[in-house]
């Protein structure tokens, strides 16, 4: 009896773990990437798994499985509740799912307790927002909450800069830990943040200490180098002006000052006829504070990069202002190539990445704009388009919202790859996902994809192990993640396990039918 009980607990636990992996790592990605085709694949896979179950236990197992997935999502949604509220809501979820499940599926109380406990353990031990990374990465570090959620700024820029000159790059972002802590403490008070209030966010530098990443004090790095390495950003645009100053304790601080208060915002909304003109004036004032303000170096008004665009040992420099220019590194700064608004209409707001994507020993220009492109510069100053997002899938516009994020190696693979944010294969939704590509003969071939909300992706060796990690900012969740690329085939393995279970189910069904037929013949 005890042996049978233990076997039942073990098998139910394995069922819960398999369902968790199946749902999070196979079914959800398939639907996100392939839309209705993914739904069809998911239904077919789940249908076959259900059919393979013994007929007398099919209903109870299906209802138990759905109950587990519902419990998992419900408990995860309340994980930030205060402890007492969390306890009572969890108890309510337990009772409701038990009653409904028993009425529909008639499963045993013991099996229900096992799957509910599994849901509790998984949501307590894991951050479910990290699970999508597992298909390609291991989460090496997750930062604390850097800023209040759903507030003025949805995300902060993230950069990798060696600010302390030890040949290992540090993670640079912005944070307001006081506001983040305030949000958590005021959860149960029902308070809302006042919109358009002054904010003071400082630039934080996180460094690997051998075990984890810790924020280092301003005295341990060069503040001037940090400031000169930062690009112009547009946080709070156009409602805020930006100024920067040095604080002896916090380091480089960015002050965000609202251009109008709540009353004026309401008044402006009511006078909708003049609203466009007031918005234009605010936008101009906001831009002036970013580009021309005394606390922000004017050299940051241009985006710059460097690379070997032409054969030879020299390095060329790329700058973007109203036009994009490639200039020689000599004192004369000879212009070698130009892209203006006639060739790229939105060139002034484009972003650039440099890399040798076609392995010909010269660099290409990876231009992120409304239509992203890979461009090669020739010796006569002309540009050749190696790849364009507008031409990839024609009317389907799979690459319509394509962004180049970086060009670098990841993990143990020494070959650089294109790291990008791109849309799913067939869905019309404009959501972009982390994707790795290699360029071959005018085509971007996908190496991997992760269905996560990470943006501002940067690849670099931030822990000194000689291998590049991938760093990104979780949109609206206000956290930085450091990911290590692994080579374990998670998705093929799960498909293999699922296929094996389906085949095993077919075999058991066939065996049962044979035994039934054989028994019937024997009784005749």
Question: SS3 for 22-39, per residue?
Answer: HHHHHHHHHHHHHHHHHH
* pLDDT tens digits along 241-287: 888 888 888 889 988 888 876 656 656 655 656 666 566 676 667 66
- For 5, 71, 205, 316, 501, the CA distances from 377, given in Å and listed in that order, are 71, 56, 36, 11, 54
Copy the structure tokens of residue 38. 């993914």
Pairwise CA distance, residues 12 & 7, whole Å:
8
Report the 10 Å Cβ neighbour count for 493.
12
CA-wise closest residue to 256 among 206, 293, 205, 298: 293
* pLDDT tens digits along 349-384: 888 999 999 999 999 999 998 889 999 999 899 999
Residue 194 has pLDDT above 60, yes or no: no
Copy the structure tokens of residue 352. 């650039």
Pairwise CA distance, residues 173 & 471, whole Å:
11
Copy the structure tokens of residue 324. 């994009």
Which of 68-77, 120-129, 284-293 has the lowest average pLDDT? Answer: 284-293
Copy the structure tokens of residue 472. 């990104």
Q: Is 440 helix (H, G, I), strand (E, B) or coil?
A: strand
Do 491 and 42 contact (CB within 8 A), yes or no?
no
Average pLDDT value over all residues in the chain: 85
Percent of the chain with pLDDT over 90: 51
Q: At what angle do helices 83-105 and 109-125 cross, to 10 degrees?
A: 140
* pLDDT tens digits along 377-409: 998 999 999 999 875 444 444 455 799 999 999
425: pLDDT confidence band, cut at 50, 70 and 90? confident
Higher pLDDT pick, 493 / 275: 493
pLDDT for 193: 47
Copy the structure tokens of residue 523. 């009784």
CA-wise closest residue to 351 among 337, 367, 370: 367
pLDDT for 389: 87
Pairwise CA distance, residues 237 & 253, whole Å:
18
Q: Is 297 helix (H, G, I), strand (E, B) or coil?
A: coil
Residue 523 has pLDDT above 70, yes or no: no
CA-wise closest residue to 457 among 490, 478, 480, 477: 480
276: buried, middle or exposed (CB in 10 Å: 19+, 13-18, 0-12)?
A: exposed
Residue 47 has pLDDT above 80, yes or no: yes
Pairwise CA distance, residues 433 & 430, whole Å:
10
Residue 469 has pLDDT above 80, yes or no: yes
Distance from first CA to last CA of the chain, Å, rounded?
Answer: 36
pLDDT for 14: 95
Copy the structure tokens of residue 318. 């790329």
Where do the structural domains in the chain lie, given as residue ranges?
2-133+489-523, 137-301+392-485
490: buried, middle or exposed (CB in 10 Å: 19+, 13-18, 0-12)?
A: middle
Do 50 and 65 contact (CB within 8 A), yes or no?
no
pLDDT for 288: 67
pLDDT for 278: 66
Residue 434 has pLDDT above 50, yes or no: yes
Alpha-helical regions (H) of 271-343: 275-291
What strands, in cross-sheet order, belong to the sheet with 454-460?
Answer: 137-142, 479-485, 469-474, 454-460
**pTM listed for this prediction:** 0.87
Residue 15 has pLDDT above 50, yes or no: yes
Copy the structure tokens of residue 307. 């690379």
Do 429 and 423 contact (CB within 8 A), yes or no?
yes
């Amino acid at each position: 009896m005890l042996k049978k009980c233990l076997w039942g607990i073990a098998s139910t636990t394995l069922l819960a773990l398999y369902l968790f992996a199946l749902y999070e790592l196979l079914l959800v990605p398939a639907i996100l990437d392939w839309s209705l085709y993914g739904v069809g694949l998911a239904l077919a896979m789940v249908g076959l798994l259900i059919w393979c179950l013994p007929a007398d236990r099919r209903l109870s197992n299906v209802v138990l499985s759905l109950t587990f997935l519902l419990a998992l999502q419900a408990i995860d949604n309340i994980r930030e509740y205060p402890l007492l509220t969390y306890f009572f809501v969890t108890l309510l979820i337990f009772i409701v799912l038990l009653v409904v499940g028993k009425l529909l599926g008639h499963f045993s109380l013991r099996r229900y307790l096992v799957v509910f406990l599994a849901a509790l353990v998984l949501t307590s031990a894991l951050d479910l927002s990290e699970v999508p990374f597992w298909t390609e990465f291991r989460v090496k570090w997750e930062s604390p909450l850097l800023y209040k959620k759903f507030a003025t700024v949805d995300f902060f820029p993230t950069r990798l800069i060696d600010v302390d000159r030890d040949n290992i790059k540090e993670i640079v972002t912005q944070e307001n830990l006081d506001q983040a802590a305030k949000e958590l403490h005021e959860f149960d008070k029902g308070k809302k943040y006042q919109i358009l209030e002054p904010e003071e966010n400082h630039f934080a530098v996180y460094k690997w200490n051998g075990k984890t990443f810790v924020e280092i004090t301003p005295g341990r790095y060069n503040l001037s180098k940090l400031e000169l390495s930062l690009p112009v950003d547009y946080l709070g645009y156009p409602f805020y002006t930006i100024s920067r100053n040095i604080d002896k304790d916090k380091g480089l601080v960015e002050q965000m000052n609202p251009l109008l208060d709540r009353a004026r915002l309401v008044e402006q909304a009511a006078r909708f006829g003049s609203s466009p003109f007031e918005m234009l004036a605010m936008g101009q004032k906001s831009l002036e504070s970013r580009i021309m303000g005394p606390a922000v170096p004017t050299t940051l008004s241009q985006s710059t990069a460097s690379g070997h665009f032409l054969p030879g040992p020299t390095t060329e420099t790329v700058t973007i202002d109203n036009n994009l220019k490639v200039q020689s590194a000599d004192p004369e700064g000879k212009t070698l190539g130009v892209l203006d608004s006639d060739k790229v209409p939105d060139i002034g707001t484009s972003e650039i990445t440099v890399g040798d994507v076609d392995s010909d020993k010269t660099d290409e220009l990876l231009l992120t704009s409304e239509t992203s492109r890979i461009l090669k510069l020739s010796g006569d100053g002309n540009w050749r388009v190696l790849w364009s997002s507008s031409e990839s899938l024609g009317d389907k516009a799979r690459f319509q919202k394509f962004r180049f994020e970086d060009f670098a190696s990841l993990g143990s693979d020494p070959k650089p790859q294109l790291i990008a944010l791109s849309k799913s294969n067939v869905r019309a939704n404009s959501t972009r996902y982390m994707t790795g590509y290699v360029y071959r003969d005018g085509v971007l071939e996908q190496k991997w994809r992760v269905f996560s909300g990470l943006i501002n992706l940067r690849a670099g060796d931030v822990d000194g192990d000689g291998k590049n990690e991938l760093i990104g900012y979780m949109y609206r969740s206000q956290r930085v993640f450091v990911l290590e690329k692994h080579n374990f085939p998670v998705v093929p393995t799960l498909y293999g396990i699922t296929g094996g279970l389906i085949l095993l189910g077919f075999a058991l069904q066939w065996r049962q039918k044979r035994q039934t037929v054989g028994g019937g013949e024997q009784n005749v």
